[in-house]
Amino acid sequence: MISFSPSDIIIIILFFSLLLSIGFISSKKVKSNAEDYLLSGRNMGLFLFVLVNVSTWYGGIIGIGEFTYRYGLVSWFTQGLPYYFFAFLFAMFFAKKIREASLFTIPEKLEQIYGRNTALLSAVVVFILVSPAPYLLMSANLIALVFDTGDLFSLIIGVILSASYLIKGGFRSNIFTDAFQFFIMFAGFIIFLSVAVLNYGGINFLETNLPHSHLSFTGDASITFLIVWFLIALWTFADPGFHQRSYSAKTGNVAKYGILISIIFWALFDFLTTSTGLYAKAILPDLDNPIMAYPLLAEKILAPGLKGIFYAAMFATIISTLNSFMFLSATTIGKDFIYRISKEKREDKIKLYTVIGIIITSILSVVIAYTIPSVVQIWYTIGSLFIPGIILPVISSYYPKISVSNKIILIEIILAILSGTIWLLIRNNFQGFVYEIEPMLIGISVALLIHTIGLISKFFSLDKREQN
């Protein structure tokens, strides 16, 4: 069904060779201290900040193709617009505060405000949320498609491509490989969309060959469906990647304006990917497996060589997120678990702990991706259950007026996750409107209720103190 010319294979291998070369070359200047290894010396300028921030965002590129093929422009309305909105708020109200805190991780901040137990619990949540398993699975699927390799072998190759230079170069290697992949992913999708437009025509072709709902920003989606996606985008406030890049920025203004500029590039790349997905639906209207929308469209319209560039772009889009999440996960293990529970709090050991974290993360990711071969299932389960437990604790840690007691915040995290999990397990026993209630809505509602109770309790406690 899908074939690759020698020129395609050469281009893809060249991409991997350049990726590894950049990763290892950039690692030569890395020092062994924690600040340099974990955050590149907190010296990332605006240009690199934007490149890294944009490239890390799009690991689920194949899923974007599938979603757009199935539902049309609503994919941008649900998976683009909400994130622009919350990223803007993050830039305006959090980026500078995070940089000025001069910390390393989210659990560190939560420990300052809510104590050690909250820090350890939040570290577990963060570790689960930043699992690179979905992105490893997608990269492995592409490797298997291009090189005709087995599932397990493809997963191992995918891990090696990311973990090898991270072990040596830390976040610095992460930065420079992501910057390289930024240009590859944009180049590939610009070529892809341009060929589609030149061969088939512009908006008139789409209007003629697409269902009407595909060209509506909200499609046939229900209000509940749209609201859920906006709630999912709240994850932006507690996204460890956003916090990591803000920590590593040269100044607070670099973090703030870097995110604001990133929104422009996200919108541009969303235009490229969404438009390409619409062309896939218009040109190939009856696909049995829409997850293959991009690869099958590439097979139909791209000449040899150009197809290789496009596949390099898909690899770049996925791996830029894979290596970022792998390093975040490793940092959580090294800094927030091993270092926190070790008897000797020696910062010169953090690099070693993080390397151990990379190895552990790599093994776990292979196991998860091999046993749960569904990106959608991994995303849905992780996001729905764990995001509600971490959002309010993170937000309130930077705004003391809405902080609550240590006891309340622990209860909030636990019950938000637990309630969503229970609902996920029992919702199949219900029908109609009740069944349509997403686990995330349950989790967020519980978190809001408990946090509100905590604020009321705090208010009355302060009022009594003032009276006394």
List domains and CATH numbers for the chain: 6-371 (1.20.1730.10), 374-468 (no CATH)
In total, the chain counts a number of residues equal to 468
Give the whole-angstrom CA distance, residue 73 versus residue 217: 5
- CA–CA dist 440, 416 (Å, integer): 9
The pLDDT score that the predictor gives to residue 264 is 97
**Are 315 and 88 within 8 A, CB to CB?**
no
CB under 8 Å, gap of 24 or more: what pairs does 220-225 form?
221/71, 221/74, 221/78, 224/436, 225/78
* φ/ψ of residue 393, rounded to 5: -60, -40
Measured in degrees and rounded to the nearest 5, phi and psi for residue 44 equal -75, 120
Separation in Å, CA 279 to CA 63, 387, 431:
16, 33, 36
Residue 284: predicted pLDDT: 96
Tokens 């938000």 -> residue? 416
Using DSSP's 3-state secondary structure scheme, residue 424 falls into: helix
CB 19 within 8 A of CB 319: yes
Q: How far is CA 198 from CA 68, 231, 262, 293, in A?
A: 21, 38, 29, 19
Q: Is the pTM of this model over 0.85?
A: yes
DSSP string, 313-325: HHHHHHHHHHHHH
Whole-angstrom distance, CA of residue 301 vs CA of residue 201: 13
- The whole-number pLDDT of residue 247 equals 96
The CA-based angle 76-80-86, given to 5 degrees, is 150
pLDDT along the chain (468 residues), means of 10: 93 97 92 91 96 89 89 91 95 97 95 95 92 90 92 93 92 96 97 97 95 89 79 89 96 97 96 96 93 95 97 96 95 93 82 94 91 67 87 96 95 96 91 83 95 92 64
Helices (H), 40-150: 46-55, 61-71, 74-79, 81-93, 95-101, 106-114, 116-129, 133-147
Handedness of CA 277, 316, 373, 76 (dihedral sign): negative
**Which two three-digit tokens encode residue 305?**
């060589």
**DSSP assignments along 433-467, one per residue:** HHHHS-HHHHHHHHHHHHHHHHHHHHHHHHHHHHH
Show Cβ contacts of residue 172 under 8 Å, excluding neighbours closer than 6 positions. Answer: 26, 27, 29, 30, 36, 37, 40
- Name the token pair of 320: 């830029």
Buried b (16+ CB within 10 A) or exposed e, 208-229: ebbeeebeeeebebeeebbebb
Neighbours of 422 (CB within 10 A): 13
Q: Which residue has the tokens 């619990």?
A: 121
SS3 content of the chain, % helix, strand, coil (to 5): 85, 0, 15
